[in-house]
Amino acid sequence: MQSIKIPTDRVGALIGKGGSVKQKLEERTGVKITIDSEEGDVQVDHTHSEDPSMALAVLNVVHAIGRGFSPTKAFLLLDDDYFLKIFDIRDYVGKRQESVVRMRARVIGSRGKTRTLVEELTGAFVSVYGNTVALIGNTLQIDIASRALDMLLSGSEHAAVYNFLEGRRGQLKVDGMGF
């Protein structure tokens, strides 16, 4: 039995309409999930699963939903080729909430332009939620998107980040990602 805590406002996304997301996750993995909707505590019990490693995959899915991803995108983590990476914005700007809010806006960009470009040019999915920026993608997508986000969070100009992403676009095409 393992547990994870997610924000209470994301519990509904984990449960889904009429329990559909929770049920689908349990059916696909054979892992039993118990959710305390008031506290945001999620228990993952893999004792009835044929594959004990599924508990880790389920924890990743739950964590991704807790970080703002839709269940559809989070379910990609059940595939061995997809990974979750989370950046804590406070590691870059400290604990002052104004600095975190400013950096969140910087990562999202005007009308979502920066986040959209990172997604389009890498193929990774990006979620900005609370004090975090999270990525879902394969190894190469995560590597390139992580470097771009690290540049942004470290204060690089948007133009420099866009140029970096454009330069890496060819690498993704060569490796068969087709983006």
CB atoms within 10 A of CB 22: 19
HSE (side-chain half, CA atoms, 13 Å) at 44:
26
- Position 174 scores a pLDDT of 55
Judged by DSSP in three states, 112 sits in helix
- pLDDT for 1-41, tens place per residue? 888 999 999 999 999 999 999 999 999 999 999 999 889 99
Amino acid (one-letter) located at 131: N
- Position 178 scores a pLDDT of 46
- pLDDT for 149-168, tens place per residue? 999 999 999 999 999 999 88
CB atoms within 10 A of CB 66: 26
Two structure tokens written together for 107: 């990562």
Residue 175, pLDDT > 70, answer no
Q: Which domains does the chain have, with CATH numbers?
A: 2-78 (3.30.1370.10), 83-174 (3.30.1370.10)
Residue 102, pLDDT > 80, answer yes
User: What CA–CA distance (Å, rounded) separates 66 from 129?
Assistant: 9
- pLDDT for 84-100, tens place per residue? 999 999 999 999 999 99
Range 60-85 average pLDDT? 96
User: What CA–CA distance (Å, rounded) separates 114 from 80?
Assistant: 28
- Position 142 scores a pLDDT of 96
User: What CA–CA distance (Å, rounded) separates 130 from 7?
Assistant: 9
CB atoms within 10 A of CB 131: 17
Band (51; pLDDT cuts 50, 70, 90):
confident
Percent of the chain exceeding pLDDT 70 equals 96
Residue 179, pLDDT > 80, answer no
